[in-house]
Amino acid sequence: MKLLLKPLLQQGITPDRERLSDVQVRGSVFILDGVEYDFGRMQPGGYLPPEAYHGTPFIDIRFVDGDRLYLHYIHQVTSEVMMQFPREVESIPVDQDGKVEVAFSYEHPMG
């Protein structure tokens, strides 16, 4: 499954609990910090209403560009990363299984 990941950076509540989220993809399964979310039943053109993912790290889940599943989610970062980058970073297209590296590059609001 083709994914388009859109991380929203969020710092942990206390400095002693700071961490960087771990993101992996395996087929239709998105793995965030060891928790698996299987999107295999979603069909291109489909969308999940917000109440379907209430209480999860997801902000928006829908298909874009026909067959690419867009996942806007909360990505935990350290205070050091939070001071260097804005909360919204560039979307990350994912076309193969494995660990996803979030490079913390970002889209400048002025283009």
pTM exceeds 0.75 for this model: yes
Question: Could you read off the pLDDT of 53-75 as tens digits, one per residue?
Answer: 999 999 999 999 888 999 999 98
Which is nearest to 45 in space by CA: 75, 65, 74?
65
Which is nearest to 39 in space by CA: 4, 6, 75, 76?
4
Question: Could you read off the pLDDT of 79-88 as tens digits, one per residue?
Answer: 788 788 777 7
The domain segmentation of the chain, as residue ranges, is 2-100
Lowest mean pLDDT among 48-52, 67-71, 89-93, 106-110: 106-110
Amino acid at position 7, single letter? P
Beta-carbon contacts of 67 under 8 Å, excluding residues fewer than 6 positions away, are 2, 44
